[in-house]
Structure 1
Amino acid sequence: MNERIVTELIESFGKLFWAGVKVSIPLTVTSFSAGLLIAFLVALAQIAKVPILRRLVRIYVWIIRCTPMIVQLFVVYFGLPSIGITLNSFFSAWLVMSLSVGAYCSETVRAAIESVPAGQLEACYCDGLTFWQGMIYVIVPQALRTAFPPLSNSIIGLVKDTSLAYSVALVEILATAQRIAARTYDYFWLYMEAGLIYLIICSVLTILQSKAEKALERRR
């Protein structure tokens, strides 16, 4: 590695890191938050005794889990304009990733809810609470502790999935690396540097996950 490459890598590191702070991290946080809300609603819909609602959410989960995310991105960003619906690159990526998180995490949330003893929901009924009130105020808070580790893994995976957003013209970490590499032709080192940025972000999230799990364990 010569001096020119070292200088370029030092200069590009700030640009890649800023792309992560400006685009990749906000995309991850907002899509995971929306996806988590969807996951809880889907999980509750599967548990609720409403056959048609249960069937609809199962179709949604089936479609999202059985098609590649990049195909979903292409359908939303490139396909929808043909029927008169045009979304910008960030919102397209946010929508697809939110729906993906919602589908995958719904199974985790459902399993966590079902792990709470059924007698607690019956106790809610005895106290005059409805099904939804019992779920929101009693069952879900307990289930969240069980679901926390796999849900934390999902957000780490989502950070890496944001790299797919470059395919719909969103200038995140990977797209920034590609643009710089197209000018300097240092593809190997720039892609390695992009990987390093993802490694740093995911490592920080892993440390936070570990601390949060220990805090939850102490509260039990």
Structure 2
Amino acid sequence: MDILTDWIEWFPRVYPGVLVSLQLTGLSLLFGMPLGLILAVMAETRFQPFKWASFLIVEIGRGLPALVLLYMLYFSLPEVGVTLTSMVTAVIALSWSTGAYASEYFRAGLAAVPNGQREAALTSGLDGWNGFRHIILPQALRISTPPLASLAVLTFQASALAFMIAVPELMSKAFEISSTTFKYLSVYVFVAFIYGILTIIFLALTTLLEKYLNRHMQR
């Protein structure tokens, strides 16, 4: 079949783009998830400057589309003397967006931990940070895992937007091939197939993580 022959021929050309997409996704999750947890904790504190800082960062990250964040950082910052590479810009923008959404999931997870668990931590002598780290946080993470897993998949899919600022990821490689072969349908079906396979792998890994957390919490 001609289409399979084309896909086999194109794969070495799109493979570097797949690696860049995975690298961009990994870095965005590596920075975005901890940022979301920090923002969630800041939002729950009684220290008002922390609460307002968290509110501002989250609302900007959730209110602006990821593409707008990409453009704002990549094209606007040079006007104030700050120039970032396209990859660094993409990581910052997607981490910001990921962190903003993750913070809401973390907040929901923290709020879902029964008050009895908090009281048990206090009676066990685990107050403050120790109680939070050993009792509250593990349960909140288990509760937050399913929506965070979906967010990780969305972050991977959003990495395609980095094509707009010249990051050489998967969509960029697809555009290069389609521009020379003019086989737009075959090229973009091929890319959709790759995104679909990687998304399934992401979901499988997050399912395994959720099962691990459930077993850990039941011990």
Normalising by structure 1, report the TM-score.
0.91
Q: Which amino acid aligns with 2:130?
A: Q
From 189, 192, 202, the counterpart of 2:189: 192
8 Å CA contact 2:16–2:169 kept in 1: the answer is no
8 Å CA contact 1:65–1:103 kept in 2: the answer is yes
Change (3 A) 1:177 1:217: same
Which deviates more, 114-123 or 161-170?
114-123
Change (3 A) 1:132 1:218: closer
CA distance in 1, matches of 2:209, 2:111: 23
Give unpaired runs (5+ residues) of structure 2: none
From 74, 78, 84, the counterpart of 1:81: 78
5 Å-filtered alignment, 1:44-59, equals 44-59=41-56
Which deviates more, 123-132 or 64-73?
123-132
CA distance in 2, matches of 1:42, 1:131: 18
Deviation per residue, 1:154-197 (Å, 9 max, x gap): 11111110000000100100010001111111111111111111
Q: Which amino acid aligns with 2:105?
A: T
* Aligned match of 2:133: 136
Deviation at 1:82, TM superposition (A): 1.0
Deviation at 1:15, TM superposition (A): 2.2
CA distance in 1, matches of 2:188, 2:109: 38
CA distance in 2, matches of 1:216, 1:53: 30
From 143, 146, 149, the counterpart of 1:146: 143
1:120 and 2:130 are equivalent in the alignment: no
Deviation per residue, 1:201-220 (Å, 9 max, x gap): 10111122223323333342
Give unpaired runs (5+ residues) of structure 1: none
- Percent of aligned positions that are identical: 34
Deviation at 1:130, TM superposition (A): 4.8
8 Å CA contact 1:13–1:193 kept in 2: the answer is no
8 Å CA contact 1:39–1:103 kept in 2: the answer is yes
* Aligned match of 1:178: 175
1:161 and 2:140 are equivalent in the alignment: no
Change (3 A) 1:41 1:25: same
CA distance in 2, matches of 1:210, 1:68: 28
Q: Which amino acid aligns with 1:67?
A: L
* Aligned match of 1:32: 29
What is the CA RMSD across the aligned residues, in angstroms? 1.8
8 Å CA contact 2:70–2:89 kept in 1: the answer is yes
Aligned length: 217
Q: Which amino acid aligns with 1:17?
A: Y
1:14 and 2:12 are equivalent in the alignment: yes
* Aligned match of 2:38: 41
Deviation per residue, 1:85-137 (Å, 9 max, x gap): 00001110000111111100101001101111224334444555553332223
Deviation at 1:47, TM superposition (A): 1.2
CA distance in 2, matches of 1:59, 1:38: 14
SS of alignment partner, residue 29 of structure 2: helix
